[in-house]
DNA sequence: CGTCGATCTGACCAGGCGGTCAAACATTTT
DNA sequence: AAAATGTTTGACCGCCTGGTCAGATCGACG
């Protein structure tokens, strides 16, 4: 294994299979609770073979985090300075909620990492994540000061959108345990609720 | 050890020391990542001595969850049907935010358990937690229908208050990583932000 | 086909884990 | 003081874990 990432056809296939299996296992069990045997079994490989592709459990985990971070931040990055403020923020909320629905494993992976103190992720939180949040928060604060949004702290507004949308992925068992949805109707309810919540709070000049 | 809880003076002291140490370790490392050695060290006891007081790691963990659940639900239980709707809900939000600030270990303990699928807690989520949420959500829905609150789904409103307030405990390292607060001023900002958010969204008749 | 590197595996290891136990030590009771 | 009960410990065990390694197998290519 060179450090240049997958090259051959087999490498590409197994590399991807391992990362997908690892996402499954790490997101359910956390870093400490996950075992290489479980990841290998889920990927359909033997444990030594898995270690032929990744140097260590640690390497799989950090590989996952790195690979997923960009996708994870994409919705916020798409917040458009030239759009209508309320529409932009509601749109961002919807994209995040949609990500929670479609990519709950990724959401739980990040949640578990941060919950346990982000020992392997703190540098990127304080780096690109921080930069992006502060940039977009400044944009929101501009909108607020211009009277195009109710006066709300942009940084905490972003936090609240993370919290409310990721809640439906991270705390899925609790949401389902309380609501007992027959299929997925609670996602529609969540969308409508959050739409009303943020529309009511963001709309200025009442 | 009988099953009747601490009796002697020494038992009371060590029992409490163990639970406090366990809260520390479990909330930082999760169930799988925590070790009996770490808990014993934190409690100032030897591992066998720790197991003299609790039958197993599992027993300490579930003992903790049970002991803390009532306290955890107290703020919601205090939601008063006879109070002013907006004030009641804002008051509830403040109590929850205050709990996140004062009891972050407890918040992270529950978060970790639910995040990993609540394998040892699901029955109580579907039991007393569900009952309480549905009761208070019905109250909120009554207020909404009576025009005393903006029309919002009570169950999802409760979820959103959990999400936004517990976020500051569960994702503390991320919040601090982004905001870099010099002391604890971000808790004040959070209170003001959430106050404005929910006041704006809840206030009816615009 | 044959060769050579890429891929894969069974057997194995050292360390850490939850948990046990007999015996030592403390404390209370008689 | 002695007996009885409650508390603590060092030594230990079996199991699982992450990781290694020598060698077997596979697959692309001349």
Taking the C-alpha atoms of residue B137 and residue B157, their distance in angstroms, rounded to an integer, is: 8
Interchain contact, B30 vs A28, CB within 8 Å:
no
Which chain B residue shows the shortest CA-CA distance from A199? B201
Q: Where are the domains of chain A?
A: 7-55, 58-202
Do domains B7-55 and B58-202 share one topology? The answer is no
DSSP state of B4: S
Taking the C-alpha atoms of residue A27 and residue A113, their distance in angstroms, rounded to an integer, is: 9
Taking the C-alpha atoms of residue B161 and residue A148, their distance in angstroms, rounded to an integer, is: 25
DSSP state of B55: S
B139 touches chain A (CB under 8 A): no
**Out of A117, A155, A193, closest to residue B152 by CB:** A193
- Nearest 5°: the CA angle B80, B152, B135 is 40
pLDDT of residue A6: 76
DSSP state of A113: H
Question: Which CATH number does the domain B58-202 belong to among 3.40.50.300, 3.30.499.10, 3.40.50.620, 1.10.357.10?
Answer: 1.10.357.10
Query: Is it true that domain A7-55 has CATH number 1.10.10.60?
Result: yes
pLDDT of residue B9: 84
For every residue of B143-185, DSSP letters joined together read HHHTTSS-S--HHHHHHHHHHHHHHHHHTHHHHHHHH--SSSH
Which residues does chain A have with pLDDT short of 70? Answer: 1-5, 205-206
Distances (CA, A) of A2 to A53, A59, A68, B84, B143: 10, 14, 22, 66, 64
Question: Please, are residues A180 and A188 in contact by the beta-carbon 8 Å criterion?
Answer: no
pLDDT of residue A1: 40
| B58/D6 CA-to-C1' distance in Å | 24
**How close is the nearest chain B Cα to the Cα of A4, in Å?**
31
pLDDT of residue B125: 97
pLDDT of residue A109: 98
The token pair at B39 is 């808990």
On chain B, the residues whose CB falls within 8 A of the CB of A32 are 29-30, 32-33
Interchain contact, B177 vs A129, CB within 8 Å:
yes
Which chain A residue shows the shortest CA-CA distance from B186? A156
Which nucleotide is at minimal CA–C1' distance from B49?
A: D8
**Out of B177, B179, B201, closest to residue A197 by CB:** B201
Which chain A residue shows the shortest CA-CA distance from B129? A178
Sign of CA pseudo-dihedral A6, A11, A17, A21:
negative
Q: Model-level pTM? A: 0.95
Per-residue pLDDT of B77-107, as tens digits, reads 999 999 999 999 999 999 999 999 999 999 9
Residues of chain B numbered 70-89 and touching chain A (CB < 8 Å): none
Report the phi/psi class of residue A35: left, alpha or beta, with left for phi > 0 and alpha for psi in -120 to 50.
Answer: beta
The token pair at A148 is 């195009």
Taking the C-alpha atoms of residue A47 and residue A68, their distance in angstroms, rounded to an integer, is: 24
Per-residue pLDDT of chain B (206 residues; tens, 9 = 90+): 445 667 788 899 999 999 999 999 999 999 999 999 999 999 999 999 999 999 999 999 999 999 999 999 999 999 999 999 999 999 999 999 999 999 999 999 999 999 999 999 999 999 999 999 999 999 999 999 999 999 999 999 999 999 999 999 999 999 999 999 999 999 999 999 999 999 999 999 65
User: Strand, coil or helix: what is A172?
Assistant: helix
CA atoms within 13 A on the CB side of A124: 16
> Within 7 Å: CB of A36 and strand D?
yes
Per-residue pLDDT of A145-199, as tens digits, reads 999 999 999 999 999 999 999 999 999 999 999 999 999 999 999 999 999 999 9
A138 touches chain B (CB under 8 A): no
B170 touches chain A (CB under 8 A): yes
Residues of chain B numbered 16-45 and touching chain A (CB < 8 Å): 28-33
pLDDT of residue B206: 55
**Out of B33, B151, B162, closest to residue A32 by CB:** B33
């Amino acid at each position: 294994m060179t450090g240049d990432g997958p090259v051959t056809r087999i490498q590409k296939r197994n590399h991807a299979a391992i990362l997908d299996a690892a996402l499954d296992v790490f997101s359910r069990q956390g870093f400490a609770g996950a075992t290489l045997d479980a990841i290998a079994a889920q990927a359909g490989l033997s444990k030594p073979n898995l270690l032929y592709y990744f140097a260590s459990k640690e390497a799989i985990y950090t590989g996952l985090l790195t690979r997923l971070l960009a996708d994870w931040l994409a919705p916020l990055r798409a917040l458009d300075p030239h759009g209508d403020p309320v529409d932009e923020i509601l749109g961002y909320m919807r994209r995040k909620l949609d990500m929670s629905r479609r990519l709950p494993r990724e959401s739980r992976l990040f949640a578990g990492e941060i919950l346990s103190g982000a020992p392997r992720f703190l540098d990127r939180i304080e780096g690109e994540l921080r930069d992006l949040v502060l940039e977009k928060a400044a944009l929101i604060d501009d909108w607020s000061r211009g009277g195009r949004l109710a006066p709300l702290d942009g940084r905490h507004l972003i936090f609240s959108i993370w919290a409310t949308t990721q809640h439906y992925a991270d705390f899925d068992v609790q949401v389902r345990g309380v609501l007992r949805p027959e299929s997925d109707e609670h996602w529609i309810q969540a969308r409508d609720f959050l739409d009303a919540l943020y529309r009511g709070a963001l709309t200025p000049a009442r």
